[in-house]
Copies of this chain bind each other. A is one copy, B any other.
Amino acid sequence: MRARCRVGLRLHVVLAESALELVPRKVATSPDVVSDSRRRGLPAAEILLDRSFHHRALEKLEDNFKRGRPDLVHEALLAVTGSPLYMEGKADVWVHTCVDRVLEFKPGTRVPKNYLRFRGLAEKALRGETKGELVSVMNATVKELLKRVIRPDWVLALTTLGKWSSFAGAAETLVTKNEPCVMIGGFPHGHFSPGAMKLADSALKADAIPLEAHVVAARLVYEVEKHLGR
């Protein structure tokens, strides 16, 4: 049984409150940041905060359990951009970060598969050096992104706080919309903030256990494809 779908469906995937940011000024002098900054030959303020290298620095930051995981964001981006749905121009992807910056990818942009290249690109974008390129950055809360930029006709949040569904069930509803948006948490632990949750028309939990963002993204996009009759 496939749900009715309209010709012009475009799925907006938003990785919300993602653990991707440059090292905040507050921890720029933390010893682990300083040594990483020296090793890379870049100022602390120009490198991505990364728990793999900046564990001590992260301990000094609020909500640190949700931050400093650019690797997870990269993997979730690849899960979306590697899909036929994205390659055929029926999906786009946005990275809203935990510090309210948004990475916008021009439709069809191939995200670097090599993590080191992705890191370089994200750092360049967050420094504001990619204007007019395939990736650009704006300052926006997730509410501003949804209400002013994407303007979806329906918002689904995938979260373990949601009502039980399956990915197939979620997709079945999504494909009845024209411009649906799915919010996936771009962070390793915890939940969407109450502000983000309020934006959702529906909040669903598609597995009994918490899944990583790339697994959630891959499954949701795949089910949307199936419901579109690929």
The residues of A with any CB-CB pair to B shorter than 8 Å are 50, 52, 69, 71-72, 74-75, 78-79, 82-84, 87, 113-117, 167, 207, 209, 211-212, 214-215, 218-219, 222, 230
Contact = CB atoms under 8 A, between A and B. Distances in A.
A44 to B, nearest CB: 18
Contact of A82 (B87, B114, B212): B212
Contact of A75 (B72, B113, B117, B230): B113
A207 B82 CA distance: 13
Contacts of A75: 75, 78, 113
A215 B114 contact: no
Contacts of A211: 82, 84
A71 B115 CA distance: 7
A212 B211 CA distance: 21
A79 B209 CA distance: 16
